[in-house]
Amino acid sequence: MKANNKERYLVLALLFLTVVINYMDRINISVAASAIRGDLGLSKEAIGLIFSAWAWTYTAFQVPGGLIADRFRARTLYPILLVGWSIATILQGLVSSLGALIGCRVAVGAFEAPTYPINNKVVTEWFPPEQRASAISVYVSGQYIGLAFLAPILTLLLVSVGWRGFMITTGLVGVAWAVIWFVLYPRRNGDNFEDEGSVHEVQTLDKAAHKTKAKTDFSVAFKHPKLWGIYIGQFAIGSVFIFFLTWFPTYLTEYRGIEIVKSGFMASVPYLGAFCGVLLAGFSSDWMVRKGFSAEISRKAPVIIGLALSTAIVGANYTTDNALAIMFLTISFFGVGLASITWVFVSLMAPKEHVGLIGGVFNCFGGSSAIITPLIIGVLITDESFAPAFLYIGAVAIMGLLSYLFIVGKVETVGALSGKIRDKV
């Protein structure tokens, strides 16, 4: 029996809200960071380590997480993962040492690792090819819309119940949502659409590719300069993005002197900016493709412009006006949203038989920014100044911009085995 629109909209709504809760449990530690630091007497370097810890397992478990997503039904698997990372979130409100907090964040990252592979699998099962891009954009928007609306709510909750009650409450929300997901998600698997661009074919091609020598497979992912160009670009975009998920609330309260509740409302503005950037990038890029523009313009232009705009974050160093600082940060995060279509370069440039491998490496570079950048910021900043951190982020954004301009160059499919260019887009 084919899925009807009511079922599809229900599944999409469940995905959207799950992404919102997913990101709530990613950023709750950053919202509570100042309170945790003051209560436990932690250094800025220690806070940077806590911010980084989530990404250790999230990045490392991307491939195993994808395999788990392939093996088990979303209706059953997602509640298990939700309960897992929610319990780890609750435990953060009960522990009192740096090591225990790091352990909890590592657990959150491990349980969240399969989430986006599951999201993509669900969309593939429930939506025909011509509807998937729209469906994906809807649930991905949850990370920005959710953050925008959650920021003030979370800060109010923090003030009301303290950081320990705050972590316990946000964890309990995840446990409750696990039950709701299991009850509301349709019992059947969907229609399991298969098409030329489906996940199923990519998996089949990937399995075929693994029949070749592993050494050859991995060399394909690393020997082409063009691929290194998109890897570097993804690290750059991820570095700007992760600042807003980790150090941003601390910057507003400790370095801008903005009262905690007010900071939550001010923090929502850049998140909305990023949401607008995501929508503009997707619609404008597809529009240019339909109008016959080359891949260099239709695909690279949003990314290059977005990375250029991301450097606006440095402007916050040169103003004492909080509203003006928020404007610079909003422009920067809007740029991140505009540059968010970078996954398209994996499909355009990777040989079909190595899409999975190159996509995994690409995602690992993006994930590594969540490991490295929070740590570097923790080392660079002082009690008096956050300016070195913004200079670092601006420099990394410029590195990504130059990478797309001069290393990626023309958008072409790289040769699978010879290292030569095989196809042109």
Give the pLDDT mean for 356-368.
82
CB 114 within 8 A of CB 69: yes
CA dist 120 and 126 (Å) reads 10
Provide the angle, in degrees to the nearest 10, between the axes of the packed helices 355-380 and 44-60.
170
CB 260 within 8 A of CB 397: no
CA dist 358 and 342 (Å) reads 13
Looking at the DSSP bridge assignments, the partners of residue 412 are 424
Amino acid, res. 156: L
φ/ψ (deg, to 5) at 423 = -125, 160
Amino acid, res. 315: G
Q: Give the residue carrying structure tokens 């998140």.
A: 271
Q: Which domains does the chain have, with CATH numbers?
A: 1-193 (1.20.1250.20), 201-425 (1.20.1250.20)
Of 313 and 352, the structure prediction assigns the larger pLDDT to 313
150-167 residue pLDDT tens: 888 999 999 999 999 999
Evaluate the CA torsion angle 115, 249, 373, 333 in order and state its sign.
positive
Q: Is the pLDDT of residue 201 over 50?
A: no
Token digits for 74?
Answer: 């979303």
- State the pLDDT confidence band at 191, using cuts at 50, 70 and 90: low
CA dist 138 and 126 (Å) reads 14
Give residue 416's pLDDT: 44
SS3 content of the chain, % helix, strand, coil (to 5): 80, 0, 15
Give residue 244's pLDDT: 94
CA dist 381 and 376 (Å) reads 9
24-73 residue pLDDT tens: 998 899 999 999 999 999 999 999 999 999 999 998 887 788 778 878 89
Report yes or no on whether pTM surpasses 0.85: no
Q: Give the residue carrying structure tokens 């349980």.
A: 111
Give residue 298's pLDDT: 84
Token digits for 292?
Answer: 């016959």
* Contact partners, residue 74, CB within 8 Å, separation at least 6: 118, 121, 122, 125, 185
Q: How confident is the prediction for the chain on average, in pLDDT? A: 85
282-318 residue pLDDT tens: 778 878 888 888 877 888 899 999 999 999 999 999 9
Token digits for 380?
Answer: 């660079």
